[in-house]
């Protein structure tokens, strides 16, 4: 089973320092990140005992038990084509097939209880489930949750069948059948901004949650609120983490995908000038500029509702925010990430204090209201939006080639 970034990832910088990521990593989803080096540990210790490479550094990657032998192994995705390996080793894929559309969100699970993981694709709130690793139509189609929910996959009740749960902050709505309807269990665990993984940590055939804070993992062996049963440190802070059963003993443990060094970002990552490299369709450029204007208006409308003065667009902040949005789009950053040069950029703009909100969303066209709702619901993002001591703002919006839109707000005070 896998761990991955949420479909919508939000990040906030508080004060003058970068804050932590607010992204959910869920078993059953894309691993996320970049790089083709994987470090697995089949015990809860600090050192990997399985290391291998697989595919390309830019591949979308998932883990699952593709042959029913009890061991989770990798699969990479390129568009709607999937290639899998049945070994955690540096070997070529052993099976390739296509399923769904290139822009679908893909989930992995054992939907029919036969011991083999297969795919489902999510389109808004509708899930198209396939019970074999092959081309063809869905075997089941079901609606669950809301369009903005983060989805997790697991066997929550020990039935040997994986089903869906949705996460809303630190609250989890768990459904025990692949059907529409209300949640069977609703539970709180961890914090709103925790990274979350799902696994059967103690081999009791039921999946539960773990939260990750930097390189520390707090694991609960039951779906319940309260203290963790196991706490372990593993990997590096910038690793992308996931979970799986690496030795077939029935218990899930941790793995990480080591982040590859990103390629250098060009000076004009999303080129709307009409000449030179990285040119973008003029219609897309118009949509991008309209979204920037709309986002600024939305920010100030929300501030006006709270009797706060409007933020003024600062040319220097605006350039920084737009370039970072375009950089993430060019890099096709999984989730979203803070500008690593933010401090230097803010000082170059003569700012005494600053903050940053960042988001990514997979939608055909920008949806500023959707992003704003997420930011308003998050304490860190809300504070950046409503801090009265900052009067200046820069707005960045940019599309990536893989169907995502990236958003950046840089706040400042001279």
Identify the residue whose tokens are 């903005």: 148
pLDDT at 169: 82
d(CA 247, CA 249): 6
Higher pLDDT, 20 or 401: 401
Which 3 state secondary structure label does DSSP give 242? strand
Is the CB of residue 345 less than 8 Å from the CB of residue 356?
A: no
Find the helix or strand (DSSP H, E) in which 210 lies: strand 208-213
Is the CB of residue 41 less than 8 Å from the CB of residue 48?
A: yes
Is the CB of residue 123 less than 8 Å from the CB of residue 112?
A: no
pLDDT at 335: 64
Q: Give the residue ranges of DSSP H helices in 195-331.
A: 282-305, 315-331
Q: How confident is the model at residue 20 (pLDDT cuts 50, 70, 90)?
A: very low
Q: 78-94 pLDDT, tens per residue? A: 989 999 999 999 999 99
Backbone dihedral region for residue 230 (phi beyond 0: left; psi -120 to 50: alpha; all else: beta): beta
Q: Is the dihedral of CA 23, 25, 29, 33 positive or negative?
A: positive
Rg of the chain over all Cα atoms, to the nearest angstrom: 21
d(CA 397, CA 296): 11
Structure tokens at 118: 């297969």
pLDDT, mean of residues 130-143: 94
pLDDT, mean of residues 184-211: 90
Tell me the pairing of strands 392-399 and 312-313.
Answer: parallel
Domain boundaries, the chain: 28-258, 282-413
| pLDDT at residue 97 greater than cutoff 90 | yes
What does DSSP assign to residue 337?
A: -
CB atoms within 10 A of CB 171: 13
| pLDDT at residue 1 greater than cutoff 90 | no
pLDDT at 334: 66
CA–CA distances in Å: residue 259 to residues 38, 150, 170, 334: 10, 23, 27, 11
CA–CA distances in Å: residue 150 to residues 7, 22, 25, 130: 7, 12, 9, 20
d(CA 399, CA 406): 6
d(CA 269, CA 289): 15
| pLDDT at residue 15 greater than cutoff 50 | no
| Residues β-bridged to residue 198 | 209
- 379-386 and 368-376 helices, crossing angle to 10°: 100
pLDDT at 27: 65
Is the CB of residue 194 less than 8 Å from the CB of residue 211?
A: yes
Whether domain 282-413 has CATH 3.40.33.10: the reply is yes
Which phi and psi (to 5°) does residue 85 adopt?
-120, 145
Cβ neighbors of 309 (< 8 A, separation 6 or more) are 303, 388, 391
Which 3 state secondary structure label does DSSP give 369? helix
Q: How confident is the model at residue 11 (pLDDT cuts 50, 70, 90)?
A: very low
d(CA 313, CA 412): 10
Average pLDDT, the chain: 88
Q: How confident is the model at residue 307 (pLDDT cuts 50, 70, 90)?
A: very high
Q: 235-290 pLDDT, tens per residue? A: 888 788 999 999 999 999 999 998 777 678 888 898 898 888 888 889 999 999 99
Higher pLDDT, 378 or 43: 43
Lowest mean pLDDT among 32-41, 222-231, 262-271, 316-325: 262-271
List strands edge to edge, sheet with 81-84: 60-64, 73-78, 81-84, 95-98
Nearest to 293 by CA among 361, 238, 366, 188: 366
Is the CB of residue 76 less than 8 Å from the CB of residue 59?
A: yes
Is the CB of residue 251 less than 8 Å from the CB of residue 203?
A: yes
CB atoms within 10 A of CB 250: 12
- 282-305 and 379-386 helices, crossing angle to 10°: 80
């Amino acid at each position: 089973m896998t761990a991955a970034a949420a479909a919508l990832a939000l990040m906030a910088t508080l004060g003058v320092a970068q804050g932590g990521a607010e992204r959910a990593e869920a078993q059953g989803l894309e691993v996320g990140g970049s790089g083709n080096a994987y470090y697995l540990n089949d015990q809860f210790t600090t050192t990997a005992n399985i290391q291998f490479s697989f595919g390309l550094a830019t591949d979308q990657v998932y883990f699952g038990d593709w042959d029913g032998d009890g061991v989770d192994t990798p699969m990479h995705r390129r568009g709607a084509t999937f290639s899998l390996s049945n070994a955690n080793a540096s070997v070529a894929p052993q099976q390739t097939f296509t399923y769904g559309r290139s822009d679908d969100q893909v989930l992995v699970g054992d939907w029919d209880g036969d011991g083999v993981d297969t795919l489902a694709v999510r389109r808004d709130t509708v899930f198209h489930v396939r019970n074999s690793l092959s081309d063809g139509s869905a075997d089941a189609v079901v609606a669950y949750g809301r369009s903005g929910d983060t989805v997790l996959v697991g066997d929550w009740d020990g039935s040997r069948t994986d089903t869906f749960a949705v996460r809303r902050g630190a609250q989890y709505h768990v459904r025990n059948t692949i059907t529409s309807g209300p949640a069977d269990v609703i539970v709180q665990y961890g914090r709103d901004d925790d990274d979350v993984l799902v696994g059967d940590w103690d081999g009791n055939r039921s999946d539960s949650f773990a939260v990750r804070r930097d390189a520390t993992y707090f694991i609960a062996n039951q779906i319940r609120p309260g203290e963790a049963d196991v706490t372990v440190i593993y990997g590096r802070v910038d690793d992308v983490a996931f979970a799986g059963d690496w030795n077939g003993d029935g218990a899930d443990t941790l793995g990480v995908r080591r982040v590859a060094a990103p390629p250098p970002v060009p000076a004009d990552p999303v080129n709307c000038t009409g000449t030179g490299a990285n040119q973008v369709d003029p219609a897309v450029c118009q949509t991008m500029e309209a979204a920037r204007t709309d986002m600024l208006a939305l920010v100030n409308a929300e501030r006006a509702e709270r009797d706060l003065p409007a933020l003024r667009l600062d040319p220097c902040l605006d350039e920084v925010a737009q370039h970072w949005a375009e950089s993430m789009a060019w890099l096709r950053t999984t989730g979203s990430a803070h500008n690593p040069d933010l401090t230097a950029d803010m000082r170059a703009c003569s700012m005494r204090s600053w903050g940053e909100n960042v988001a990514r969303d997979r939608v055909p066209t920008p949806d500023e209201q959707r992003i704003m709702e997420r930011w308003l619901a998050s304490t860190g993002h809300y504070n950046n939006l409503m801090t009265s001591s900052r009067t200046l703002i820069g707005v960045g919006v940019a599309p990536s080639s893989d169907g995502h839109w990236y958003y950046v707000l840089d706040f400042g005070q001279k």
